[in-house]
Amino acid sequence: KTRANEVSKLIWDVTDYRFSYHHVRNYSGAAGYSHFFYHCAQAATRKLPPEKHSDAAKHRDKGQMKTYDCNGWLEIWAADDKTEVFVRLRHQLCHEAYTCIDVPSEVKELLWKKKILPLYPKPNFKQKSIYSLHLKENQDKWRTATDELESAIKLIEQYTGHEQTPLERINLPETDCCSAVAFALPSLINTWRGIVREIGLDSTFKTNRSGYECYAVLGEVFGSGVPLGFLLLKSKNPIVGEKEDYIRHCLRHFVGHCKLDIEQCLTDKDIIEINAMLAEMPSTVKYQLCFWHSIEIVKGRLCVLSRKPASYDSEAAFRLFDWIDRDFENLRVAQSFIPRLKVIFNGQTVAAPARPKLLINLNGTACSSTSDLDDLDNLLDSLEDEHEEVKIALEDIDDRDGIDRFNGPDSWFEPGETVFAEDKQYVFCPAPHRSQILHMFIRHFCEHPLL
């Protein structure tokens, strides 16, 4: 086998294709030769299942090397006491060369000789300490100043006008309560300027130890989000409207300076982002709240069972939103618990009869009508994994025995409220109706021409 492995390495050096050992066949009476089989390391038929990420919360597979349908096999006949080696190579597709990811021999030497442990048999330092030293050693390549904000600004200025990866700094106001830096990506903006018609503003908190919030401006390109620019913002007791002013300056760069032809914009439920979008986008641009956040808001209200809806005041609503019709009146809200009827026969609950189907005969062919929620079911099936809780909430639409409780996060409850309806004489939305409410909202959200 040692001789066969050496031959496979020689073929790797000549062809740039690596062949991995598969199995061996030993023959009796074949002059001592053994038949070794090697397959192409990039063959799709030999691809192993992807490894899962070590963090269970991150449901994604680790990256793998690209594979091909090359049907590559290497067969070697070799014997320990024979000088001749016979080779048969089969490779039906010319593809990219193999990228070696083996540990270099110099690194192996450090490992085998154990140069650290002889000096420190029982070291007090850990793996993270060694990694920290390596990180600090490489900081000189990208850190241009002691202050991180000043370093980021210098790095952006260094790449301004860069031929391959240009950056463009966005002018921001200077205040005592906030520190920020923003930049755009001109290469991506110029590439997709004629296609981007929808942009979104999203943010992440606790981006680093310094407490900077990262706001990203994304453009929709063929169903995917392309980053157009970023804003890093840190605030300490800001006055009202100060953070919004920074976001508005960032958005103003893409609307005014970059001249993007925007038709629709999206944000999450953050009121600061919403106000900034509405203030900077032209009046012709349609604003819409994120679909996922919209569902979360409705679920947040449904989870509080004992809170009665406030009395509707059309004048107060009109003062807040002048497009509301003063003559609109909401339906009367039931103030008592709606009784539930169950039929029990011989101690067993009798289920309700199945809903009749409507049969339509058209040209001699009978077709049964489908539920008006089928389209919504198809929509829910297409939701990503991150919306799994929405799909679960809508699967039990015909459940008439649900418990009147909703285990939502604490932020959805006011002081004194619980997940149970303590007052049995009033339940805001009984369990059997919650999924139907969500179905109605999703249908309205997806089919309304103005949404």
Same-domain status, 325 and 282: no
Q: Is the pLDDT of residue 142 over 90?
A: no
State the amino acid at position 450 in one-letter form: L
Buried b (16+ CB within 10 A) or exposed e, 97-124: ebeeeeeeeeeeeeeeeeeeeeeeeeee
Q: Are residues 351 and 440 in the same domain?
A: yes
- How many CB atoms neighbour CB 188 within 10 A? 17
- Digit-coded pLDDT (tens) for 383-406: 444 444 444 444 444 444 444 555
**Statement: residue 318 has pLDDT above 50:** yes
- For the chain, the average pLDDT equals 77
* Residue with the larger pLDDT of the pair 281 and 109: 281
Residue 397's pLDDT is 41
Give a yes or no: residue 296 inside a domain: no
pLDDT, residue 384, reads 45
The residue type at 232: L
CB neighbour list of residue 36: distance below 8 Å, 6 or more residues apart: 1, 4, 21, 24, 75, 76, 77, 78
Examine the pLDDT at 119 and tell me if it is beyond 90.
no
At residue 230 the predicted structure's pLDDT band, cuts being 50, 70 and 90, is very high
How many helices and strands in the chain, by DSSP H and E?
A: 12, 15
Question: Is the distance from CB of 264 to CB of 282 less than 8 angstroms?
Answer: no
3-state SS string for 179-237: EEEEEECHHHHHHHCCCCCEEEEEEECCCCCCCCEEEEEEEEECCEEEEEEEEEEEECC
Three-state DSSP class for residue 296: helix
Residue 426 three-state SS: coil
User: Are 374 and 424 in the same domain?
Assistant: yes
Of 56-60, 105-109, 222-226, 447-451, the range with the lowest mean pLDDT is: 56-60
59 part of a folded domain: no
**Same domain, residue pair 79 and 200:** no
| Whole-angstrom distance, CA of residue 275 vs CA of residue 281 | 10
How much is the average pLDDT of 131-148?
A: 77
The tens digit of pLDDT for each residue in 23-33 reads 888 876 557 78
Is pLDDT at 203 greater than 80 in this prediction? yes
d(CA 124, CA 143): 29
**Strands 213-221 and 224-235: what pairing?**
antiparallel
What pLDDT is recorded for position 220? Answer: 93
Q: Is residue 297 part of a domain?
A: no
Strand 343-345 versus strand 168-169 pairing type: unpaired
3 state DSSP class of 84: coil
Please say whether the beta carbons of 434 and 393 come within 8 A: yes
Which residues touch 401 (CB under 8 Å, ≥6 apart)? 432
Statement to judge: residues 283 and 233 lie in one domain: yes
Q: Tokens 């600061």 belong to which residue?
A: 272
Q: How many domains does one find in the chain?
A: 3
231 occurs within a structural domain? yes
**Is 307 inside a domain boundary?**
no
Residues 156 and 223 in one domain: yes
Whether residue 277 is found in the same domain as residue 207: yes
In the sheet with 178-184, reading across from the earlier edge strand, the strands are: 168-169, 178-184, 224-235, 213-221, 198-204, 264-267, 286-289
Report pLDDT for 369: 46
Do 272 and 402 reside in the same domain of the chain? no
Whether residue 95 lies inside any domain: the answer is no
285 with 330, same domain: the answer is no
Range of the domain at 185: 146-289
Cβ within 8 Å of residue 266, ≥6 positions away: 198, 199, 200, 201, 287, 288, 289, 290
pLDDT at residue 263, rounded to an integer: 92
**Per-residue pLDDT for 266 more than 60?**
yes
The structure's pTM equals 0.53
What's the rounded mean pLDDT across residues 345-369?
A: 61
Tell me the mean pLDDT in the region 344-365.
Answer: 64
* 411/337 same-domain check: yes
Least confident of 143-152, 214-223, 371-380: 371-380
| 388 is a domain residue | yes
Instruction: Output the CA–CA distances (angstroms, integers) from residue 375 to 200, 426, 445, in the order listed.
Output: 26, 33, 13
Longest dimension (CA), the chain: 101
Question: Concatenated DSSP letters for 161-173?
Answer: T-SSS-BEEPP--
Looking at residue 189, its pLDDT comes to: 94
- Asked whether residue 182 is assigned to any structural domain, the reply reads yes
CB 214 within 8 A of CB 204: yes
User: 84, 52 in Cβ contact below 8 A?
Assistant: no
Rounded (10°) CA dihedral 288, 293, 294, 300: -150
Residue 156 — φ and ψ, nearest 5°?
A: -65, -45
pLDDT of residue 66: 83
E strands, 67-196, are: 73-78, 86-90, 168-169, 178-184
Q: Is the pLDDT of residue 229 over 90?
A: yes
Residue of 176 and 312 predicted with greater confidence: 176
| C-alpha to C-alpha distance for 189 and 268, rounded to whole angstroms | 23
